[in-house]
Structure 1
C-alpha cells in the first residue's frame, strides 16, 4: 500500500514544487487546509487582461501527496483561465471519488490513481487545485469591482 501510494514519482514531485514564493502584489489569494491531516496550501495569483494566470506563488505545508499535487498544479497553472481551473479541480475530485475513469486533461494527475482507494488522502490531493481556483475567482472578482 505505502509503496504504491508514495512511489518515487510522487516523492520526486514533492521535492520540486515550482513557484514557492508568495506574490507581493497578488490579485487573489486562497488558503486551503485539510482537516483530516492538517495539510495547508496558500496560493496567490495575478491575472492578465485576458483573465489568464500570469503570476503564481504558493506556500505548501502538506504531506507528500499534497506536495506532489501542488507541484503538478504549479507546473501547469500559468496561462490557464478560471474555466480551465474549475474543470481541473472538478475532474480531479470526481476522479478521486471514483465518479470518472480519468483525471481530466491536466498533465500528471493520473499519478494519483493508487490514492483513489484511500479516501482519507483525497482532501490533501485536492488542496492545490481548490486553492488556485479560489484565488483566481477572487482575483477576477477584485478586478471587476
Structure 2
C-alpha cells in the first residue's frame, strides 16, 4: 500500500492546480512551426504551434492530451515559453530530462517551476509524458528558425 501512497503524493495539489489552469491551450491559426509528439508507452499526445520573431518565441499554442504530470509540464511551459530562444527551450528540455533521469538540477529560469515534477523521477514510465511538451516545443522552435533563415 505504500506504493499507492507514494503515487498519491506524486499528484500534489500544486500539480493538480497546474493542470486545472493550463495557459495557451488555443492552437495558432498561422504558426511558423507545428510539431506533434506522442509517447508510445502511455499514449499521451502533445501538439505545439509557435511563432518566432528575432530569434524568440512571440506566440505559442498547445493541444495536450496527457496524464496530469504531462499536463502540469505543459502548463509550466505554456506560461514560460514566450520570449525564449530555441536554445533556451532545448536547454530546458535537457535539464528536465537530467532532473528526472539523474537527479540533475532544476531547469533554469524561466522554466524553474518544473521543479514541481521532481518527485516523478521515481516513476520512469511517466518521464516520456512529462518531456513531450518541451520535446515538441524545441523541435518546433528549431524548425521555425530554419524556415526563417532559409
TM-score by length of 1: 0.95
**1:57-110 CA distances to partner (integer Å, 9 max, x unpaired)?**
100111100100000000000000011011100000011001524333322111
1:108 pairs with 2:113:
yes
Contact 1:92–1:104 under 8 Å retained in 2: no
Can you give the 5+ residue segments of structure 1 that lack an aligned partner in the other structure? none
| Structure 2 counterpart of 1:44 | 49
Larger helix fraction of residues: 2
Matching residue within 71, 93, 101 for 2:75:
71
Whole-Å separation in 1 of the counterparts to 2:105 and 2:83: 26
Can you give the 5+ residue segments of structure 2 that lack an aligned partner in the other structure? 1-5
| Structure 2 counterpart of 1:6 | 11
| Structure 1 counterpart of 2:123 | 118
1:58 pairs with 2:27:
no
Task: Quote how far apart the aligned CAs of 1:116 are.
Answer: 0.5
Whole-Å separation in 1 of the counterparts to 2:99 and 2:34: 26
1:42 aligned counterpart, secondary structure: strand
1:141 aligned counterpart, secondary structure: helix
Whole-Å separation in 1 of the counterparts to 2:115 and 2:103: 14
| Structure 2 counterpart of 1:19 | 24
1:38 aligned counterpart, secondary structure: coil
2:36 aligned counterpart, secondary structure: strand
Total equivalences in the alignment: 144
Matching residue within 89, 93, 99 for 1:95:
99
* Higher deviation after alignment, 104-113 or 54-63: 104-113
